[in-house]
């Protein structure tokens, strides 16, 4: 590329994977709903998929809404994309909605289960309107799909 050509490639190759409340318990309880894999297992899949695309995956889990918001804010200008499973915050955290709304890169909302097929209160996501796209109901495979989706968004 000459010095006058403009690249569409983002300056950063970091994908931030955020896991919300109680996801640290994966593999311990409710295997019928969330499977037997641990969060560590899912992060390993996401990390390997990112590497295949020349990207670097960073993962953070928090049970605290404010911590997740701080991490989203700190990703601005530093990370190329965000994958977030906001857990139950998906259904009522307008503060996470507002933080994601000002992130400049692609945002994938990820759920292990399909909340739309569960209790009515899980049918609403306040995060979905500010996500580039949403992946739900594919269990652990969703982590691979989410990284692939971000990689495709970044290369288009
Ligand atoms: O399906 C998903 O990924 C969810 O984000 C999981 C959240 C739930 O509130 C959302 O509606 C859908 C809950 C995560 C709690 O995970 C646990 C794992 C093991 C034991 C207990 C909870």
What is the average pLDDT value for the chain, to the nearest integer? 94
For CA atoms 153, 78, 74, 113, give the dihedral sign: positive
Render pLDDT for 99-155 as a digit per residue (tens, 0 to 9). 999 999 999 999 999 999 999 999 999 999 999 999 999 999 999 999 999 999 999
Ligand 1 atom at shortest distance from the alpha carbon of 118: 11
What is the spatial distance between Cα 43 and Cα 59, in angstroms, rounded to a whole number? 7
Q: Is residue 19 lining ligand 1, measured as CB closer than 6 Å?
A: no
Average pLDDT of 77-92? 98
Give the confidence band of 10 by pLDDT, cuts at 50, 70, 90: low
Q: Is residue 25 lining ligand 1, measured as CB closer than 6 Å?
A: yes
Q: Which of 87, 123, 127 to mutate to test the pocket of ligand 1 (most atoms within 8 A of CB)?
A: 87
CB atoms within 10 A of CB 106: 21
Active site residues: 34, 111
57: enclosing H helix or E strand: strand 56-61
The DSSP secondary-structure symbol of 105 reads S
Give the confidence band of 61 by pLDDT, cuts at 50, 70, 90: very high
Q: Is residue 117 lining ligand 1, measured as CB closer than 6 Å?
A: no
pLDDT of residue 96: 99
73: enclosing H helix or E strand: helix 65-75
Q: Ligand 1 centre from 60 Cα, in Å?
A: 16
What is the spatial distance between Cα 126 and Cα 120, in angstroms, rounded to a whole number? 14
133: enclosing H helix or E strand: strand 133-136
């Amino acid at each position: 590329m000459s010095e006058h050509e403009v690249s569409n490639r983002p300056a950063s190759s970091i994908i931030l994977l955020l896991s919300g409340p109680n996801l640290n318990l994966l593999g311990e309880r409710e295997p019928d709903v969330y499977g037997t894999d641990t969060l560590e297992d899912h992060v390993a899949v996401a990390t390997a998929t990112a590497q295949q695309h020349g990207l670097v995956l960073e993962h953070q889990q928090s049970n605290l809404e404010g911590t997740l918001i701080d991490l989203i804010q700190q990703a601005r200008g530093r990370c190329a994309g965000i994958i977030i499973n906001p857990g139950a915050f998906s259904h009522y955290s307008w503060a996470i909605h507002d933080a994601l709304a000002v992130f400049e890169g692609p945002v994938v909302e990820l759920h292990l289960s399909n909340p739309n097929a569960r209790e009515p209160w899980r049918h609403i996501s306040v995060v979905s309107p500010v996500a580039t796209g949403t992946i739900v109901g594919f269990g652990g495979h969703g982590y691979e799909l989410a990284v692939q989706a971000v990689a495709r968004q970044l290369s288009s």
